[in-house]
Amino acid sequence: MGPLAGLKVVELVGLAPAPFAATVLADLGADVVRIDRAKPGFDVISFPNDPLTRTRRWIGLDTKSPQGREIALRLVAQADVLIEGFRPGVTERLGLGPADCHAVNPRLVYGRITGWGQDGPLAAAAGHDINYIGLAGALEPIGRKGERPVPPLNLLGDFGGGGLLLAMGILAALVERQTSGRGQVVDASMVDGAALLTASLQGLKNTGLWSKGRGENMLDGGAPFYDTYETADGKYVAVGAIEERFWGDLVTLLGLDPEEVSGRLDPAQWPVVREKVAAVLRTRTRDEWAKLAEGTDACLTPVLTPVEARDHPHNVARRTFVDVGGAPQPAPAPKFDRTPPGPPAAPHEPRADTAAVLTELGLEPAEIERLRAEGVIA
């Protein structure tokens, strides 16, 4: 079920971006088999009902052993896609690099995600999201005037510029394969991806429309018509009234005199305009303002916590969050009218599908028991 039904994916266990890419594909109908270690490791973070491990089967395999490597390659031989998130050279040392996998399956799309990319001076260095987005120029602009840059969680590197771009690259390679009949390697770097996410910002910089420092421009909280404001209950609303017509609706909603806030396009007047807007917004609660803004084009919305977002009427109507294993999680996205994906399945117990997957590969029960006794499989 879903637009990717019939697509077979092998995922080598890893951290955030690679599992997220596999989740995106699994959510849309791909059959994902996750290969973990035969014994639990300490460098892979997972927890019960983790959205990054949902909707796939999970096996345990010692890929450092010759027998484990052989089983992994048998899975690869039947797959359309492999996803791995190790440092450059790791899968090559395991005998599961692109050349090894393409030797048994020339049509395989080999998707790999790293922070720095497969080459370049930093390719072998350690790092995390904050390092990658810092080098990409995506971190420095985020924050208030006169304050230090603020990490936007790990959304730009790990997920937006990482896992999501990897999934897109894999799908692009699958489309190309329809013409060439051949697989290829997708080298997804979180630095490259985070830099791509700054395309609009770079364009504004090039034309001089983003010339001031952090927190002093139109989209970084510098402008009074694009910012968050505290309300009477200590919560916040988001204001995005960029266009003149929307700004007019906001001014009407707030009961302000248009002449008092006429300098909204003059950066020199932004502090004065901001304080007038802020003073009015402090007179009501967040939800009161949100209710008043309904049905208008004032571009004022509540700033919800991740938990509150689950129950907002719009998100409920859109089924933006769904129940998975007894807990709310983000639903698969985007939506499809002819081939909608089914609901996500709760994560399986780690390595619980080992015997079932190996049976599908043609291994006999006695052989599976022998491999388990030898520590090759979970």
* Active site amino acids: 128, 158
Nearest CA to 71 out of 358, 369, 364 is that of 358
Helices and strands in the chain: count of H runs, count of E runs: 15, 11
**DSSP H or E segment with residue 15:** none
CB atoms within 10 A of CB 94: 17
Phi/psi-derived region of residue 375, left when phi > 0, alpha when psi is between -120 and 50, beta in every other case: left
Q: Please name the residues in contact with 40: beta carbons below 8 A apart, sequence gap of 6 or more.
A: 350
Q: 104 with 72: CB under 8 angstroms?
A: no
**Euclidean distance between CA atoms 265 and 222, whole angstroms:** 11
CB 161 within 8 Å of CB 128 = no
Which candidate, 146, 202, 218, 162, places its Cα nearest to that of 21? 162
- DSSP letter, residue 323: E
Rama region for 202: left / alpha / beta (φ>0; ψ in -120 to 50; rest):
alpha
Tokens 């080098």 locate to 135
User: Residues 6 or more apart from 327 whose CB is under 8 A from it?
Assistant: 49
Q: Torsion angle of alpha carbons 16, 124, 174, 51, nearest 10°?
A: 0
Q: How far apart are CA 153 and CA 335, in angstroms?
A: 26
Tally of CA atoms within 13 A in the half-sphere of 102 that contains its CB: 14
Residue 111 token pair: 């998707």
Tell me the C-alpha distance between 30 and 23, whole Å.
9
Give the amino acid at 210.
W
For residue 167, CA distances in Å to 30, 34, 343 come to 12, 16, 19
